[in-house]
Amino acid sequence: MSHTKRAWKLQEFVAHAANVNCLAIGHKSGRVMVTGGEDRKVNLWAVGKPNCIMSLTGHTTPVEAVRFGHEEEIVVAGSVSGALKIWNLEEAKIMRTLTGHNASIRSLDFHPFGDYAASGSMDCNIKLWDIRRKGCIYTYKGHTSSVNCVRFSPDGKWIASASDDGLVKMWDITAGRMLTELTEHTGPVNVVEFHPNELLIASGSSDRTVKFWDLETFKMVSTTDGDSSPVRRIFFHPEGQCMFSGGRDVMKVYGWEPAKCYDSIPMSWGEVADIGLAQNQLICAAFSKTNVSSFVVDLQRVKPCGTVPHSDGPPSPSVGVAPHNMSNSSSGRRSFITERPPTTSTRQASVPKEEAEEPTHDKDDMSDESAADIQSPAVYNNIFRPKSKLSRSPTRQSPFMPPPEDGQSEIFPVHQPASTPAPVTQRTKSVTKTASKPSVPPVSKTPSATPVVKAVSNPTPKPNSTPAPPPKEPDPIAGIAAEDFLPKSAYGGSTPSGEPNEEEVLSAVLKGHGAMAQVMSGRSKNIQIVRAMWTSGNTKTAVDSAISMNDQAVLVDLLNVLNLKSGLWSLELCATLLPLVKDLLQSKYDSYVMTACNALKIILRNFGPVIKSNLTAPPSVGVDISREERYRKCNKAYSVILQIRSDMDKRQNLQGNVGTIFRELQILMNNLE
């Protein structure tokens, strides 16, 4: 009974027509959720409501990662193909389509200040994107396996990345280089999160531990004891006094100086996908197949946040989160400077009218294939339409109920108490009617030492007052520009304005061109050699020469030709090429893997029965050299196929096109038994 009073399932619903691949909660309000699925759609939901608010279409491959912007006004989604799409939720239309990754996107995050995003991919790279200029600013390379999580620091100067290679890496955005790598984990690192205030970071791993790192010394502060399952999600309390860790069917609450488990709450979520906060309740979500489940944890009954024993009655309204004083940290650790510097905003909402009306979308962005279909207009208007007018309201009521009383249903409906203020729709109408009396006074654009936060609390201006026009010549040192993110050596600029001159641009373009040209020239020569042997009629010699070159690119080109003309395959070629096909299946490039899969499919379909019949046939009487040679080739091919099957069994949970063809190949290999 105590379990249902501390945490309970809010609801469970079908989110997609196919399997759900990813999920994210809006961390500003905790009221909205976005999901991506195998059906290539991105769906938006109000937490606690079963109907889809909006369905975003446009991706051509399954969606593998989603993320809300910090103000919950935009959503970015990454797919198996490596493409990113960004939607403006208030305007219900697509903003950008960004391409550059060579493999599936695994994680996304938005910069805390500017219009920038970061993405981590299975191609082992992290990319920094300029949303306004529609392109990649920089690519950070260094991981040797899939990047599972990327996060910006609260001050926007660093990126932290977690990878299957067991490393956490810290990247300096301005310098364009790696600051350090944290190496204490013994398994894949699934998630990494910055402390909201202190120079501290936490990482959760499949080695079943959470480790805390000091960002001044880059040394490990502490580590938790081995948990019962891999750590899938971690979430710092916004006030910084504790951290929540989500594993399989359990949530734990940790401190880090020293490492201490304050509380453990059993959950029925399977593998948690994301954790957010709405007032004094944790909002958690998980997915399984086509279903999504949401859960609520009452922090007033969880140590160290609350003081009400979980075996008592309903929580007292006066009980809240214990205050946390950052200056009293036992480590004396410094804090992030998270205030944004004075700036002239580059967002469309702040530019002059004549500039705001200019089209900013690519043709691809505005295509019929990329659309935002509003399916619940009433809920959509309540959540997104009034956001620009009401986002600074002093209070917004949480839609989540207190824990269920004894005997009540575990899946609790969402409704507002009688004491709740008027619905958002009514407040929206009142704001619309009194548009001449804005509730938030305009902030002057002139330089001032007074922070913007204090300006909001000034008295309301007179009805006829209008915001001051933006300055015609903004301060050149103010704001955030794409150049701020480029390495100084690559974008130093010798002109008075700080922009690179023609020589520097040419130098940057030509850097590495010679090496790439040499690689491509060598590849061309190798292909010409293979082609000359091929046209002479000796296919086996051409294949042997391609293998001896030890160049996977040449081998992939050769396999593509053989795949187009399946009649060229022979049992001897199967035995020769199968070990190389096995190596290609482990490649980090999706195109190489797909080529190897197609070749293996042809081998299994055309030669599977031959291999099986030769291995199961009774031994011949006397000497039959041709049969013994055929048996040797079949046995060699069969042994490699068994190794490939073992590798595929370990990767059977892969999603997307590769996962689909892997499952098809497993069925074909079962026929050999």
pLDDT value at residue 378: 83
- Tokens at 138, concatenated: 């920089």
pLDDT value at residue 464: 45
Region 442-453 average pLDDT: 37
**What fold is seen in the domain 7-305+371-385?**
Methylamine Dehydrogenase; Chain H (2.130.10)
User: Taking the CB of residue 53, how many other CB atoms lie within 10 A of it?
Assistant: 24
As to burial, measured by CB atoms within 10 angstroms (0-12 exposed, 13-18 middle, 19+ buried), residue 435 is: exposed
pLDDT band for position 309 (cuts 50, 70, 90)? low
pLDDT value at residue 372: 84
pLDDT band for position 209 (cuts 50, 70, 90)? very high
For residue 45, what are the CA distances in angstroms to 28, 31, 49, 51, 343? 15, 9, 7, 7, 34
Task: Give yes or no for a contact between 189 and 148, defined as CB atoms under 8 angstroms apart.
Answer: yes
Long-range contacts of 376-382, Cβ-Cβ distance < 8 Å, separation of 24 or more = 376/46, 376/49, 376/51, 376/52, 376/53, 376/54, 378/425, 379/46, 379/49, 379/51, 379/53, 380/53, 380/54, 380/92, 381/425, 381/428, 382/423, 382/424, 382/425
Percent over 90 (pLDDT), the chain:
34
Q: Residue 522: is its pLDDT beyond 60?
A: yes
Matching residue, tokens 């009306």: 357
Region 198-207 average pLDDT: 94
Residue scoring higher pLDDT (321 or 233): 233
pLDDT band for position 128 (cuts 50, 70, 90)? very high
Region 603-623 average pLDDT: 77
Q: Residue 158: is its pLDDT beyond 90?
A: yes
> What is the radius of gyration, based on Cα positions, of the chain?
29
Region 407-412 average pLDDT: 38
State how far the Cα of 440 lies from the Cα of 459, in Å rounded to an integer.
Answer: 9
Of 642, 648, 673, give the one whose Cα is nearest residue 663: 648
pLDDT value at residue 192: 97
Q: Residue 302: is its pLDDT beyond 80?
A: yes
Q: Residue 421: is its pLDDT beyond 70?
A: no
CA 583 to chain centre: 28
pLDDT band for position 610 (cuts 50, 70, 90)? confident
Pick from 21-25, 350-354, 483-487 the range whose average pLDDT is largest.
21-25
pLDDT value at residue 200: 94
User: Taking the CB of residue 110, how many other CB atoms lie within 10 A of it?
Assistant: 21
Q: Residue 173: is its pLDDT beyond 50?
A: yes
Q: Residue 622: is its pLDDT beyond 70?
A: no
pLDDT value at residue 483: 61
Collect all residues with Cβ–Cβ distance below 8 Å to 351 and sequence separation of at least 6.
345, 470
Percent over 70 (pLDDT), the chain:
71
Pick from 3-12, 99-108, 341-350, 446-455 the range whose average pLDDT is largest.
99-108
Residue scoring higher pLDDT (529 or 98): 98
pLDDT value at residue 385: 66
pLDDT value at residue 295: 93
Q: Residue 573: is its pLDDT beyond 70?
A: yes
**7-14 and 291-298 strand pairing:** antiparallel
Q: Tens digits of per-residue pLDDT, 220-255? A: 999 998 888 899 999 999 888 899 999 998 999 999
pLDDT band for position 322 (cuts 50, 70, 90)? very low
pLDDT value at residue 621: 60
Region 334-359 average pLDDT: 48
pLDDT band for position 470 (cuts 50, 70, 90)? very low
Q: Residue 211: is its pLDDT beyond 50?
A: yes
Q: Return mean pLDDT, the chain.
A: 75
Q: Tens digits of per-residue pLDDT, 473-519? A: 444 334 455 566 555 544 444 444 455 667 777 777 777 777 778 77
State how far the Cα of 200 lies from the Cα of 213, in Å rounded to an integer.
Answer: 6
pLDDT value at residue 174: 84
- Tokens at 232, concatenated: 């899938």
